[in-house]
Chain A
């Protein structure tokens, strides 16, 4: 094979005009990220300072998946906190004490802001400093906002990881080069990538986040990083501000994306081209075989992405280029142009992109264009199914291992399953 051709990096114009919408949105807020983040970082606890709504959101989005005692909770604000009858800071301190006494194994506590805490200007950062001083060195207190007025769904992870960047250890200017994989990945995927990098001869690899916050990777001017997720704008900026360099690549979905992503690292670490080819060839072949099973079902079928996680553009590129699907509309809550340069260039020409949302108008377009498959949130899936449209829950794409060569087949299967089901049912 050939190394992936560097895609048109300096493309001046969009591949197609982007429809920008501002209307009613049907997406989760950033608090939702806690549902996977609290499983990823096993020494961390997430305390949302919010309302009963925030607590209810977390519980509804989590559903029955994690009824084991979770490492998150909500400090529910009450009338007396708002009316100034109780000093909100004192209340928060009391709750944190109570929590830390109950869960002595917590090493890092994230204070997570919500709409109510942000609107009432509860001083989250100050509270974190105050509580941090009180509970050091046993517990480190960090903070970020996952509020719905500031963050959409996966942007909560972005805010969380960005809050970790300032506490990453500083590496000396002459430290050897290191690579940081940025974005929380399922453990199995993370391990696969680590093995691949080792095979390529890139030894100095760490992740943000690691499975324990205590093991945060070091960062310095010899650090470079690969974004494993497309929604990490603030985190990338914070890493760059600390001197690390972002490696430009497609996101690691499918054969094409994963190859490009690994290749970017290989170049940075001066891996021999031939060695690179030799290492990735068996993985590429394996993944290609796995995809072939699904191509037959997906080829020529059309797909419509409602905005949800910012994964839409890379996934659309994968489905179009590797499985032959037709893109009816690719909606994304936010289009990070700098991080998407290669992805946008790799999309088929003339794809309809939309940014933001006006849910009712978008549903009108779904009904008018009649895609074979609509990727949408949990609130919309059954109503669309009842209208006779096949759907794929977008949230599953965030909760399942879908990155890398060995998950490419599983990723295709996620899209193929609803269509297969429609074909087999006679009821």
Chain B
């Protein structure tokens, strides 16, 4: 058993739903109790889908156990065929149905339904959402891709590719696909099929007609791409075009496989991001400490952008999906940090606290953690909430994606000259760090630990309910107020001086000074200790 409060990934059948909901004409029969229908709201509420997910839940009850559950399952299958007339059906069990062992695959096989039926084996007690999506997509491809289709004569057409991996509920998948399809078009490359997102059963059938595959989301597309390589000999591009550099690499790789010339496009100036980052205003971004956590693909991409394209310093890097831990480990080595592979958000919270970053790039979980610590944060990876499905075009991939990333990562930070003014004039009653970045509205966050209203010890709670119990009170708030026991460690003068340091580096300063003092056996931190530590840690 594993104690869990919030989870990064749902069960594997939610992954299967992401695939079915993304596609056209595919219905999912899920053997499950009624409560599992909650998953519909992920799509209709969080992603604001206008249609119900194409999922029928058998919703068996306790009184059905041992007698009627398989009957319910078969009746539901017939109802689906009659009512929704899908082109194909996927069938499987949720965690509870797995335990009652009705064998959906066997049950459905004997029914002789008039459409292709694909049984899924998604072990709920071992695997999770991303894997469930990948496995489901792979099974669909394996069953429905027509093995006789092959690319037509190259001389008569432009190069043809498949885009693999986008699903429902994906972080910016809708816009990434539009961006990348446009980019490929400019390279004179056509898209044969994008799948699962938007693909019909007939599209899956013709996957074999493409010259090669592009795996945009390895977490959900890798298994299918491997199969297509084995079966059709289609090579796969696995460079994920997030960030300017990665997009350039992607273009070179794709162009080479397609036999087209990438030079004109690469010469063209590409992305505003390059200039925005080189422009003088961005100088203040240099060395900003950034903590990155998400799915492995987005986290690795973010680390490269942070380091190479914005001049940040990566102080933490991790992912919640173990399946791709290897990628994170390799990247972590590159940036000289410990890789963090965990799906325990409390461990992530602890790591963020230890790293004292100035910016957090993460999922909705990290957004909430960062909010509690009053650290700026931008969301870069699923799981995400409703506000991360924007109405506007907002890709992460390609050159426009890089522009979006520049804007959305830099926006939460205090801007260049303002940062200096904050440092120079600590006591201005409205232009002080407790007020936050002025372009974000002068909003004093009560109990966030910023500026004047400092609470010692404990994590300030995000709730206004006074009765809320926060976590174990071992956290330092973002400004680094000491835990109660350590209060006498700081002399009043040193403590006062510490508060004159801008909030976004104050926590780090406190930590470093305390470490410095501890290493030297200094019992009380005086003004001088603070500055000695500052000199010692000067970067």
Binding site for B on A (CB under 8 A): 24-32, 39, 42, 49, 51-57, 59-61, 63-64, 66-79, 81-82, 86, 88, 91-92, 94-95, 98-99, 102-103, 105, 115-116, 118-120, 147-150, 152, 360, 377-383, 385-386
Once bound together, how far apart are the Cα atoms of A103 and B346, in whole Å?
14
Q: Per-residue 0/1 for B18-51: is the Cβ within 8 Å of any A Cβ (1 yes, 0 no)? A: 0000000000000001111111111011001111
Nearest residue (CB) in B for A385 is B50
Known contacts A26-B37, A79-B125, A379-B41, A149 near B4 by CB under 8 Å: no
For the complex of A and B, list the 6 residue pairs with the smallest distance between their C-beta atoms, beginning with the closest.
A29-B35, A379-B40, A148-B35, A386-B50, A148-B33, A68-B463
Known contacts A29-B33, A53-B11, A119-B99, A74 near B76 by CB under 8 Å: no
Chain B nearest CB from A292 CB (Å) reads: 33
Known contacts A149-B61, A150-B62, A28 near B38 by CB under 8 Å: yes
From B35, B79, B126, name the one whose CB has the most chain A CB atoms within 10 angstroms. Answer: B35
Interface pair A60/B38, CB less than 8 Å apart: yes
Contact partner of B5 (CB less than 8 A), chosen from A69, A88, A95, A116, is: A69
Excluding A26-B37, A52-B128, A147-B33, 17 further A-B contacts by CB distance (< 8 Å) are: A24-B57, A26-B34, A52-B11, A52-B124, A53-B36, A53-B96, A59-B7, A68-B465, A68-B468, A69-B471, A73-B4, A77-B125, A79-B126, A116-B96, A119-B65, A152-B34, A378-B41
Contact partner of B10 (CB less than 8 A), chosen from A52, A119, A152, A385, is: A52
Whether a CB of chain A sits under 8 angstroms from the CB of B6 is: yes
Once bound together, how far apart are the Cα atoms of A207 and B514, in whole Å?
50
Chain B residues near A52 (CB-CB < 8 A): 7, 9-11, 95, 124, 128
Interface pair A382/B128, CB less than 8 Å apart: no
A-B contact pairs, 25 of them (CB 8 A): A24-B57, A24-B59, A29-B33, A42-B467, A57-B36, A59-B6, A66-B463, A68-B463, A69-B5, A73-B3, A74-B3, A75-B1, A86-B1, A99-B3, A116-B99, A119-B96, A119-B99, A119-B100, A149-B33, A360-B79, A360-B83, A377-B37, A378-B45, A379-B38, A380-B40
Q: Per-residue 0/1 for B118-158: is the Cβ within 8 Å of any A Cβ (1 yes, 0 no)? A: 00000111101000000000000000000000000000000
Interface pair B41/A88, CB less than 8 Å apart: no
Whether a CB of chain A sits under 8 angstroms from the CB of B14 is: yes
Chain B residues near A152 (CB-CB < 8 A): 34
Interface pair A79/B3, CB less than 8 Å apart: no
Chain A residues near B52 (CB-CB < 8 A): 379-380, 383
Interface pair B469/A76, CB less than 8 Å apart: no
Known contacts A119-B100, A379-B52, A383-B44, A98 near B3 by CB under 8 Å: yes
Nearest residue (CB) in A for B100 is A119
Chain B residues near A103 (CB-CB < 8 A): 469
From A64, A73, A81, A99, name the one whose CB has the most chain B CB atoms within 10 angstroms. Answer: A64
Once bound together, how far apart are the Cα atoms of A79 and B2, in whole Å?
11
Nearest residue (CB) in A for B469 is A105
Once bound together, how far apart are the Cα atoms of A27 and B128, in whole Å?
23
Once bound together, how far apart are the Cα atoms of A49 and B45, in whole Å?
27
Known contacts A60-B38, A71-B469, A95 near B463 by CB under 8 Å: no
From A54, A68, A120, name the one whose CB has the most chain B CB atoms within 10 angstroms. Answer: A68
Whether a CB of chain A sits under 8 angstroms from the CB of B334 is: no
Interface pair A382/B44, CB less than 8 Å apart: yes
Interface pair A78/B59, CB less than 8 Å apart: no
From B6, B38, B96, B470, name the one whose CB has the most chain A CB atoms within 10 angstroms. Answer: B38
Interface pair A57/B38, CB less than 8 Å apart: yes
Interface pair A383/B50, CB less than 8 Å apart: yes
Chain A residues near B356 (CB-CB < 8 A): none
Whether a CB of chain A sits under 8 angstroms from the CB of B472 is: yes
Contact partner of B34 (CB less than 8 A), chosen from A27, A79, A81, is: A27
Chain B nearest CB from A32 CB (Å) reads: 8
Interface pair A69/B470, CB less than 8 Å apart: yes
Interface pair A379/B44, CB less than 8 Å apart: yes
Chain A residues near B7 (CB-CB < 8 A): 52, 55-56, 59
Whether a CB of chain A sits under 8 angstroms from the CB of B389 is: no
Contact partner of B35 (CB less than 8 A), chosen from A57, A86, A98, is: A57
Once bound together, how far apart are the Cα atoms of A61 and B469, in whole Å?
21
Contact partner of A69 (CB less than 8 A), chosen from B37, B99, B469, is: B469
Once bound together, how far apart are the Cα atoms of A98 and B463, in whole Å?
25
Chain B residues near A39 (CB-CB < 8 A): 465
Chain A nearest CB from B383 CB (Å) reads: 9
Nearest residue (CB) in A for B467 is A42
Chain A nearest CB from B460 CB (Å) reads: 10
Whether a CB of chain A sits under 8 angstroms from the CB of B94 is: yes
Once bound together, how far apart are the Cα atoms of A71 and B471, in whole Å?
10
Chain A residues near B100 (CB-CB < 8 A): 119
Nearest residue (CB) in B for A101 is B472
Nearest residue (CB) in A for B61 is A149
Whether a CB of chain A sits under 8 angstroms from the CB of B368 is: yes
Interface pair B33/A383, CB less than 8 Å apart: no
Known contacts A82-B125, A88-B1, A119-B65, A28 near B50 by CB under 8 Å: no
From A24, A31, A86, name the one whose CB has the most chain B CB atoms within 10 angstroms. Answer: A24
Once bound together, how far apart are the Cα atoms of A10 and B85, in whole Å?
49
Once bound together, how far apart are the Cα atoms of A98 and B472, in whole Å?
13
Whether a CB of chain A sits under 8 angstroms from the CB of B461 is: yes
Whether a CB of chain A sits under 8 angstroms from the CB of B274 is: no
Chain B nearest CB from A338 CB (Å) reads: 21
Nearest residue (CB) in B for A70 is B5
Once bound together, how far apart are the Cα atoms of A150 and B59, in whole Å?
11
Once bound together, how far apart are the Cα atoms of A55 and B11, in whole Å?
9
Known contacts A56-B10, A102-B472, A25 near B51 by CB under 8 Å: no
Interface pair B2/A115, CB less than 8 Å apart: no
Contact partner of A60 (CB less than 8 A), chosen from B9, B39, B48, B94, is: B39
Once bound together, how far apart are the Cα atoms of A57 and B136, in whole Å?
21
Contact partner of B461 (CB less than 8 A), chosen from A64, A68, A377, is: A68
Once bound together, how far apart are the Cα atoms of A54 and B42, in whole Å?
14
Chain A nearest CB from B301 CB (Å) reads: 26
Once bound together, how far apart are the Cα atoms of A74 and B49, in whole Å?
29
Chain B residues near A75 (CB-CB < 8 A): 1-4
Interface pair A78/B125, CB less than 8 Å apart: yes
